[in-house]
């Protein structure tokens, strides 16, 4: 897959394009369905498939950084979209198009710059200034300007519409079973392991600590069954999200004890995949009480799957 950052000259538009429009935050099952329709439409017409999205979420540009918590950063979005087999991922600078009325956006971007032959959009998809453009409007513009428009219905799982909003809510509730169902993969966080006070080592439970990213959904405080990826290897692990019993209660972190692993991970990039909620956060009177609870957690995690 080709990734392009706001440079239309790098997109092959000579014979026309098939374009999917959206934010694609999370690249969940609903997005995958839409991208499948895009690929098929592009193949039928013999044109490249283009995913049109933004470098920054429009809400964060309009309302300020952090206004919209993001399920994944752009690098992960790029990987997951690339896995679907589309030709081009186009990251637009939102500021360059934010003031275009819906019809102006269609004429100046989709037609003039992308030479669109077919557009693919979700039922609730929006485009143009103040998100005034709707999927129905896009169909009308397609009829007016001579390109096809395919409107993709949402994916519904167990009565729940698969959406980025539902995924964020599941993350914030610590419901990673639901999150996995909606995403079609385990939710994960990645980062560089930072040095801390080494308290875990004193009672036999060293942890690899990550600082939570403020632009991501805030995971419910508690203890989780996780997997930790270090390079090409995957280890069972237990992760505490939130504070600790013996430290600054305002200092949040993601602390992961990796089973059957020894070694110094400071400065190493790891990925922590969340499987399910194990228990609530507890305050302990002393380290003996804490170690006893961790022994129980470890026993439960060893017996668990994955």
Over the stretch 4-23, which tens digit does the pLDDT of each residue have? 999 999 999 999 999 999 99
Half-sphere exposure of 240 (CA within 13 A, CB side): 24
222 within 8 A of 279, measured Cβ to Cβ: yes
202 within 8 A of 185, measured Cβ to Cβ: no
Q: In this structure, what DSSP letter does residue 8 have?
A: G
CATH numbers and ranges of domains, the chain: 2-157 (3.40.50.620), 186-303 (2.40.30.30)
37 within 8 A of 25, measured Cβ to Cβ: no
Query: pLDDT tens across 145-190, in order?
Result: 999 999 999 999 999 999 999 999 999 999 999 999 999 999 999 9
Nearest Cα to 278, choosing from 208, 177, 165, 191?
A: 177
Strand 17-21 to 116-122 pairing: parallel
Distances (CA, A) of 115 to 33, 101, 125: 24, 19, 20
Give the pair of three-digit tokens for residue 268.
């190493």
Helix (H, G, I), strand (E, B) or coil at 278: strand
Helix axes 176-183, 164-172, angle to 10 degrees: 160
Given strand 2-5, what is the order of strands in its sheet?
2-5, 88-92, 49-54, 17-21, 116-122, 148-152
- The 3 state secondary structure assigned to 198-240 is CHHHHCCCCCEEECCCCCCCCCCCEEEEEEEEECCEEEEEEEE
Give dist(CA 193, CA 198) in Å, integer: 13
Report the 10 Å Cβ neighbour count for 159.
5
Query: pLDDT tens across 265-288, in order?
Result: 989 999 999 999 999 887 776 778
Give dist(CA 73, CA 190) in Å, integer: 10
pLDDT tens track of the chain, all 306 residues? 999 999 999 999 999 999 999 999 999 999 999 999 999 999 999 999 999 999 999 999 999 988 999 999 999 999 999 999 999 999 999 999 999 999 999 999 999 999 999 999 999 999 999 999 999 999 999 999 999 999 999 999 999 999 999 999 999 999 999 999 999 999 999 999 997 665 555 556 888 999 988 899 999 999 999 999 999 999 999 999 987 655 555 667 899 999 989 888 989 999 999 999 999 887 776 778 888 888 898 899 988 767
- In degrees and rounded to multiples of 5, residue 107 shows phi and psi of -70, -45
The predicted structure's pLDDT at residue 182: 98
49 within 8 A of 89, measured Cβ to Cβ: no
């Amino acid at each position: 897959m080709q990734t392009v950052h706001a440079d239309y000259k790098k997109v092959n538009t000579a014979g026309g394009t098939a374009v999917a429009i959206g934010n694609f935050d999370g690249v969940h099952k609903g997005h995958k369905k839409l991208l499948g329709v895009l690929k098929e439409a592009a193949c039928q017409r013999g044109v490249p498939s283009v995913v049109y999205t933004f470098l920054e979420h429009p809400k964060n540009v309009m309302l300020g950084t952090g206004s919209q918590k993001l399920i994944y950063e752009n690098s992960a979005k790029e990987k997951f979209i690339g896995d679907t087999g589309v030709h081009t991922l186009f990251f637009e600078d939102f500021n360059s198009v934010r003031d275009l009325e819906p019809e102006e956006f269609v004429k100046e971007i989709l037609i003039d710059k992308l030479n669109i032959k077919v557009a693919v959009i979700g039922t609730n998809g929006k485009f143009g200034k103040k998100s005034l453009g709707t999927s129905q409007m896009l169909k009308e513009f397609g009829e007016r300007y001579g390109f096809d428009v395919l409107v993709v219905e949402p994916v519904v799982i167990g009565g729940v519409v698969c959406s980025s909003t539902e995924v964020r809510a599941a993350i914030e509730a610590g419901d990673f079973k639901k999150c996995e169902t909606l995403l079609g993969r385990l939710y994960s966080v990645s980062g560089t392991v930072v040095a801390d006070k080494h308290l875990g080592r004193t009672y036999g439970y060293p942890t690899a600590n990550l600082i939570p990213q403020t632009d991501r959904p805030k995971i419910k405080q508690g203890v989780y069954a996780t997997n930790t990826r270090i390079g090409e290897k995957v280890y069972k692990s237990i992760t505490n999200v939130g504070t600790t019993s013996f430290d600054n209660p305002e200092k949040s972190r993601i602390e992961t004890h990796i089973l059957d692993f020894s070694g110094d991970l400071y400065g190493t990039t790891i990925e922590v995949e969340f499987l399910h909620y194990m228990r609530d956060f507890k305050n302990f009177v002393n380290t003996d009480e804490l170690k006893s609870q961790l022994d129980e957690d470890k026993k439960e995690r060893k017996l668990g799957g994955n």
